[in-house]
Structure 1
Amino acid sequence: MALAAALGTSTIYPLQPAIADVAAALDSSVAAVGLALACGSVGYLAGLGLVVPLVDHLAPGRVLAVQLAVLALALGAGALVGHVVVLAVVTGVVGACSTVGAGLSSVAGRFAPPHRRAAVLGTVTAGISAGILAGRIAGGWLADELGWRAMLLVLAGACALTALACSALLPGGRGTADRGYVATVRSLPGLLVAHVRLRRAALRGALWFFAFCAVWSGLAVALSAPPYSYSAERIGLYALAGLSGILATRVAGTSTDRVGARPVVRTGLALAALATVALAFGLASTVLTLACLAVFDAGLFAAQVANQSTVLALDPTAPARFNSAYMVVYFVGGSLGTGFGAVAVEHVGWEANVLVAAVAIATAASIAVPEPVAATTEIPAR
């Protein structure tokens, strides 16, 4: 499940380092290709609301196998595109199908024993984290070695093989949702209104994902400008600090099962806030920056595992719709953070950007995390 989550998540990122090569091949501007690649985020948001809930209704192995198969076809089509508009459409489909990780998180919430739910979620989240990290790094490397079209074909083949593995290895029983698919999708906004635990968890997550994306998008702008003027390759290597987040998800999952979500969320956010403040004054030191980014990522990924485990516990028999509602809000927060970070660094400076991120994390920490309760305390909204 972690490997499938890593692969599926990674497919939305690999063309980003090769954007100039793609523009040249399609006889288009870099800006137009950038807009086409942004369709991946739009597709991802649509996939969270429309594709992930299917896991509650159909056999998870079948749903995720078909999703990965479509992803393979879309990547293969992307390798053949000759126009930027077609690339935009294909990228949107890839984005929608790259929500494999969110679907697998829902599978973890449904099938894992309650006393190990967070640990299993931590393993799957580690795969998602690895996909976010490896998508850009491996994509850039493969594009340099093979060309961007061949790189997409390699990913397409990997997705096809993973689709076969999901069909064979993931649970085959139909979902236990007691409502139709259309009713489930329509119920997502109502879940946020009806469930205060879900609403608070989504707001916490959106705030720290805003901070996460603001720091990382702002970092690229700050390091590419004087006095640093680093190359894109050197800036990309800073992402290796995210390896700490992969390790933190496993530890956070086990700790959440043992002591509950509240102390894990508070500890993770406290570490992330301190690292963010330090980043405001340490950008000139590469070693200090990497250390702060490592702590920052580890703290936020740990908080994410613990926070999401409280969402999946609301209705373990059909967790995908709760996870969908949570992830939509979470992703919107991240999208706002990405835009804010790039603009803020250019207009008010790196220090102001990261201090705003620190305030967002502190605000998230002020939102109460519930004590562990039985999953049946809240009745799913009808």
Structure 2
Amino acid sequence: MAVAAALGTASIYPLQPAIAAVAGSFGASLAEVGGALACGPVGYMAGLVLLVPLVDRVPPRTVVAAQFWALGVALAGAAAVGSPWLLGLAIGVIGAGSSVGAQLSSVAGRFAEPSRRATVLGMVTAGISAGILLGRIVGGWLADAIGWRGMLLLLAAACAVVAVAARAVLPAETGDAGSSYLGLLRGLPGLYARFPVLRLAAGRGALWFFAFCAVWAGLAVALSEPPFSYSAERIGLYACAGLLGIVATRVAGAWTDRVGARRVILAGLGLAAAATVILATSLSNTVVTLGFLGLFDAGLFAAQVANQSTVLAIDPAATARFNSAYMLVYFVGGSAGTAFGAAAVSWFGWAVTAFIAAGAIVVAAAITVSVRAAGA
């Protein structure tokens, strides 16, 4: 599941470093291709709502295998298009299919033993984190080596292999959804009103994912402008700092099972807030920046594993609907952070942007301290 989650999540990112090559092949502007790539997050949000709840009604091996087949077809289709608007359509479908990572974390939450739920979730989340990181790095490398179309075809072939493996090894049992598929979708908004744990987890998660995306989006802008004026390739290498975050997800899962989610969340947020304050003043020192970016990622990834484990424990027989509701709010926070971070560096400068991100993390920690919900 961790490998499948990595591949599914990575599929939305590999064209980002190759945007200039894509624009050149179409004879289009960077803005046009950028608009096409922006369809990915829109598709992902649609997938969170429409596709993730399916694993509460359909056997995981069936729905995950089918989604990887569809993802492979969409990737192959994207490799064959000849215009930005067709690429945008294909990228939207790929974005929806990439929500398979959230499906797999739901499956992990349902079938893991309660005493090891966070540990298993940490393994799958490590795969998702690896996909976010490696999707950009490997995508850029493959696009240079075999062209962006060849890179998409290779990913499509990998999706076909994973589809066969998912059909063979994932569980065949259905969840106890208790209502029709349309009933599940209609019931998603009501979950926030009925379950305080979900409200707490979604609210604080959206705050720190806002901070996470604001820092990374703002960092790219700050490093591309004077006095740094780094190339896109060099800026992309800063993502390697996220390797520490992948390790943190594994460790955080095990510690959540031992000491509880609340302690792990507060420890992770404390580490991330402190790292963000240092990042606000250390951008000119590459070594320090990379080190504290790693700690920043590690803290927030650890908090995410612990936080998500509280959501999946609400109803172990129907984890997908709760995960869908949680991830939708979480992703809205991240989208707002991306938009804010990219603009805020131009408005206020890097230091103020980083301090605002640190403030969002502190607010998330304060909510965790002051609001107690059963199991959270």
Range into which the TM-score falls when normalised by the shorter chain: over 0.9
For residues 75-224 of structure 1, the aligned pairs below 5 Å read: 75-224=75-224
> Shift of residue 197 of structure 1?
1.0
Corresponding residue for residue 270 of structure 1: 270
TM-score by length of 2: 0.98
Q: Distance in 2 between matches of 1:281 and 1:373?
A: 39
One-letter code aligned to 1:219:
L
> Shift of residue 53 of structure 1?
0.1
> Shift of residue 174 of structure 1?
2.2
Decide whether the 8 Å contact of 1:52 with 1:102 is kept in 2: yes
Q: Distance in 2 between matches of 1:156 and 1:175?
A: 29
Structure 1 residues 27, 80: closer, same or farther in 2, change over 3 A? same
Q: Distance in 2 between matches of 1:27 and 1:194?
A: 52
Corresponding residue for residue 33 of structure 1: 33
CA deviation digits over 1:251-306, x for unaligned, max 9?
00000001100110000000000000000100000000001100000000000000
> Shift of residue 173 of structure 1?
1.7
Q: Distance in 2 between matches of 1:174 and 1:239?
A: 38
CA deviation digits over 1:346-373, x for unaligned, max 9?
1110001000000000000011368796
Decide whether the 8 Å contact of 1:260 with 1:371 is kept in 2: no
Q: Distance in 2 between matches of 1:193 and 1:116?
A: 28
Corresponding residue for residue 20 of structure 1: 20
For residues 3-14 of structure 1, the aligned pairs below 5 Å read: 3-14=3-14
One-letter code aligned to 1:19:
I
Q: Distance in 2 between matches of 1:280 and 1:207?
A: 18
Q: Distance in 2 between matches of 1:120 and 1:202?
A: 21
Q: Aligned-pair RMSD on alpha carbons? A: 1.2
Q: Distance in 2 between matches of 1:267 and 1:241?
A: 19
**Matched residues, percent identical?**
65
Corresponding residue for residue 283 of structure 2: 283
Q: Distance in 2 between matches of 1:374 and 1:242?
A: 29
Corresponding residue for residue 310 of structure 1: 310
Q: Distance in 1 between matches of 2:273 and 2:254?
A: 23
Moved over 6 A (4+): 369-372
After superposing the two structures, state which structure 1 stretch, 172-181 or 155-164, moved more.
172-181
Corresponding residue for residue 260 of structure 1: 260
Structure 1 residues 192, 374: closer, same or farther in 2, change over 3 A? closer
Where does the alignment leave 5 or more consecutive residues of structure 2 unmatched? none
Decide whether the 8 Å contact of 2:197 with 2:375 is kept in 1: no
> Shift of residue 175 of structure 1?
2.4
Corresponding residue for residue 244 of structure 2: 244
Decide whether the 8 Å contact of 2:200 with 2:373 is kept in 1: no
Q: Distance in 1 between matches of 2:261 and 2:367?
A: 13
Structure with bigger helix share is 2
Decide whether the 8 Å contact of 1:282 with 1:288 is kept in 2: yes
Secondary structure, aligned partner of 1:79: helix
Q: Distance in 2 between matches of 1:83 and 1:134?
A: 26
Corresponding residue for residue 65 of structure 1: 65
